[in-house]
Amino acid sequence: MDLYQQNILDHYKNPRHHGLLPNATGRGEASNLACGDAVNFQVKLAKDKITAIAWSGQGCVLSQAAASLLAENVIGKKREMVSKYNNETMIKLLEITPGPNRLRCALLSLDALKKALQICG
Amino acid sequence: MLDNSRDLFPIFSAGAGKNLAYLDNAASTQKPTVVLEQMDKFYRTSYANVHRGLYKLAENATTEYEAAREIVRKFINAKKDSEIIFTRNTNASLNLVAQSYCQQLAPGDEILLTEMEHHANLVPWQQMAQRYKLKVRYLPITTEGRLDEKKYDDYFNSRTRVVSLTAMSNVLGTVPVLEPLIARAKAARSRVIIDAAQAVAHFPVDVQKLGIDALAFSGHKIFGPTGIGVLYGQEEFLNAIPPFEYGSNMIDQVTYEAATWSPLPTKFEAGTPPIAEVIGLGAALEFIKRLGWPVICQHEADLTAYGLSVLLKVKSLKIIGPHTPENRGPIFAFTVDGVHPHDLASVLDSVEVAVRSGHHCALPLHSKFGLTASTRASFTIYNTKQEIDRLVEGIKQTQKLFS
């Protein structure tokens, strides 16, 4: 049951940075119509640095744990650095390699975060 | 009697599925050795294009191809071989009917579907309705997932031109009683089209007895290869509608200015057909015939009854679809409170139980039940009660993991 190792279940059950950020400078949302998973990221940037972050969403364990792990990872980082994040980054963060169909669940949060940071692609 | 039928499928006896409880048969079934061998043999010993060459090899290939058409005819009891059209799959068969037939309709004419249709029997009609200003109406279903018979009379009128419905829901498992609908359609002078993609793998279908205009199914859901589908069309109906795809094979005369069409079935078989796949489909239908419908139906009735009895006992599990075994088959879509269908499917996969999660190509039906996705376990001849137990055990493990 690799996909559901302890760190992932922990982030799912106790999500970090979960909630709303009233004075956010950027917001981004991504959803997967096929399963109804959705993640919404809100960020606050100061001098191109992520100084505050919050997310909300609904969906499977992978999609929600990935959002929590990602939020925890990027806080304090430069926007430019996060813009380089890709599939590999998410796999490293999760410490698992989901199959191609499940990888989409994990990538949802990166998509939403990039939208919030106004990074295209 | 089907206890050892797993041995007839190499993926289970020798392949990657040795210990797998394969419960995604509504999506596609595995292939028995006889189908694989027949296709392999055809390519090795008899392959040539059909209907063209005058040499022996081509004539033998044509004979084998047409023999498969006869097998299909017998399988659904069509009157003539020429009423069997080979297509790519159910989706292509339904597009053929929808696109060819709807262009003969007038604005305001009505297409009657049901709320439980697969996208393949919904989107083509919806598109034709937009193109030709037709109206699509949906026969409602009850909360249990059966057609609401009390409402039937409200949905037929003088503008009803076609009723197209599934003979077995790929989500709910419901097997609608077709006769009362066909009788109403006839009284309204409406055509009747049946989506039999699921049905043909679970019980015998007799197109003459039903008295329908057309019926569609796929090879790959009935132990045959992918890339081959069937459209049965009653002769008068197929002659009354225009061709769907134009080009080679389907013509009679061609000049630089115009063309005329070949008689049935060739009128609807443009281009080189999937010859080996047709032969594979023939082998699959013969395979079913040898097993015998009484044995298959009994086995599946047992699985349906057992599946319902044990799944309904699982805490927080809700079956979407009838909770009683009459007029329903062994397809169970369900939700489990607090567990996302993706997670359930992934955990089940880790214990070698393959199920589907998602909307199963029936988004409107899921929306109607207030869902975005569900988990589906669908059974066939090679499945066993022990596999249902493994499914239930896996669900309970998942609940424990996420609690």
Question: Closest approach of chain A CAs to the CA of B321, in angstroms?
Answer: 19
Compare all CA atoms of chain B with the CA of A62 and give the residue at the minimum distance.
B343
- At B24 the three-state DSSP class reads strand
In A, what residues contact B, Cβ < 8 A?
A: 1-4, 9, 12, 34-37, 59-63, 102, 105
- Transcribe A73-121 into DSSP letters: HHTT-BHHHHTT--HHHHHHHHTS---HHHHHHHHHHHHHHHHHTT---
Closest residue of B to A38, CA-based?
B372
Asked if residues B291 and B297 have their Cβ atoms less than 8 Å apart, the reply is: no
Judged by CB atoms closer than 8 Å, whether chains meet at A60 and B350 is answered as no
**Which pLDDT value is given to residue A120?**
55
Given this structure, which CATH class describes domain B5-28+293-402?
alpha beta
Q: In this model, does residue A121 exceed pLDDT 60?
A: no
- Count Cβ atoms below 10 Å from residue B219 Cβ, excluding itself: 32
Torsion of CA B150, B151, B155, B156, to 10 degrees: 10
pLDDT of A1 > 70? The answer is no
- Specify whether domain A2-116 bears CATH 3.90.1010.10: yes
Contact A62 B342 (CB under 8 A): yes
User: Measured between beta carbons, which residues in chain B are less than 8 angstroms from residue A4?
Assistant: 343, 346-347, 401
Mean of the per-residue pLDDT values for chain A? 91
Which chain B residues have a beta carbon less than 8 Å from that of A9? Answer: 401-402
Nearest CA in chain A to B349: A1
Active site includes B361?
yes
The token pair that represents B336 in the structure block: 């489990």
**Residues near B349 by Cβ (< 8 Å), separated by ≥ 6?**
none
Q: Alpha helix locations (H) across B215-340? A: 235-240, 275-291, 293-311
Q: Which of B335, B361, B372, B402 to mutate to test the interface with A (most CBs of A within 10 A)?
A: B372
The pLDDT of residue A100: 83
Q: Which listed residue (B295, B314, B361, B371) is catalytic?
A: B361
- Span B36-289: which CATH code? 3.40.640.10
* Interface size between A and B, measured as CB pairs under 8 A: 46
CB B269 within 8 A of CB B69: no
Residue ranges covered by each domain of chain A? 2-116
CB contact under 8 A, B341 and A59: no
Report d(CA A92, CA A106) in Å as an integer. Answer: 11
Spans in chain B with pLDDT lower than 70 = 1
Nearest CA to CA, how far is B284 from chain A (Å)? 30
The reply to whether residue B350 touches residue A37, judged by beta carbons under 8 angstroms, is no
Task: Assess whether pLDDT exceeds 80 at residue A35.
Answer: no
What residues contact residue B362 under an 8 Å CB cut-off, 6+ apart?
A: B116, B117, B118, B119, B169, B170, B171
Domain range list for chain B: 5-28+293-402, 36-289
Per-residue pLDDT of A59-117, as tens digits, reads 999 999 999 999 999 999 999 999 999 999 999 999 988 888 888 889 999 999 999 99
Residue whose tokens read 């919806």: B126
A33 pLDDT tier (thresholds 50, 70, 90): confident
CA closest to A6 among chain B residues: B401
What is the residue-averaged pLDDT of chain B?
Answer: 96
